Amino acid sequence: MACAHADQIRMEIPPEAQKSNAVCRECVAMGSHWVHLRICLTCGHIGCCDSSPNRHARQHWRASLHPIVGSMEPAERWTYCFEDDEFL
């Protein structure tokens, strides 16, 4: 099944140099930590992954209805749709 939300992608995953400086601002504000980071490909919000305690990327999807995220991990170029639960 093809993802019906790919038309919501408005930006690309940043280059490697920009990935290394990324943080989950919500985790920083809480004094918490994250495991991996994800970027919303609709608006650019950076949040922590589902393996992180606070799951801010998923919370952003639920609040904004922006379902497509990309990995902010070095050398990773994948995208994922929360709504359809599939990789693009």
CATH code of the region 6-87: 3.30.40.10
- How far apart, in Å, are the Cα atoms of 54 and each of 20, 44, 58? 21, 18, 9
Contacts of 30 (CB under 8 A, 6+ apart): 54
Model confidence pLDDT, tens digit, residues 17-72:
788 899 999 999 999 999 999 999 999 999 999 999 999 999 999 999 999 999 99
**From the CB of residue 49, how many other CB atoms can be counted at a distance below 10 Å?**
21
- Break the chain into its structural domains and give their ranges: 6-87
Does the pLDDT at position 1 exceed 90? no
